[in-house]
């Protein structure tokens, strides 16, 4: 499995709207992408400006399909002006 983690820091005045938009993005990804297996949205309880995503895809190609979807483009366009920083990391799940 291909794992993507993303940490967003958003402007304080947009934290609530960002949270709603990212939850919709998670829902859309899971509902519309057969190779998106998990999309968790986590908010820092001490700082609501910080959001952490944990996404699981079948492979890197599935993640690239995700990035090419209309719902990804719409989400990115919606939140682009709200984001102070965005950090992506990529992982491969070790099978036991």
Which CATH number is 70's domain given? 3.30.70.100
Q: How many domains does the chain have?
A: 1
* SS3 of residue 16 by DSSP: helix
Q: Domain of 87?
A: 2-92
- Per-residue model confidence as pLDDT tens for the chain (96 residues): 999 999 999 999 999 999 999 999 999 999 999 999 999 999 999 999 999 999 999 999 999 999 999 999 999 999 999 999 999 999 998 876
Taken as a whole, the chain contains a residue count of 96
Q: Helix 15-32 to helix 70-79 angle, to the nearest 10 degrees?
A: 170
């Amino acid at each position: 499995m291909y794992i993507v983690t993303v940490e967003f820091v958003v402007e304080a005045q947009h934290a609530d709207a960002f949270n709603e938009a990212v939850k919709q993005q998670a829902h859309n990804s899971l509902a519309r992408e057969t190779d998106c297996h998990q999309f968790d949205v986590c908010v820092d309880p001490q700082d609501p400006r910080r959001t952490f995503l944990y996404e699981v895809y079948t492979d890197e190609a599935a993640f690239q399909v995700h990035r090419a979807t209309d719902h990804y483009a719409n989400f990115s366009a919606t939140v682009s002006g709200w984001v102070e920083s965005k950090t992506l990391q990529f992982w491969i799940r070790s099978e036991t």
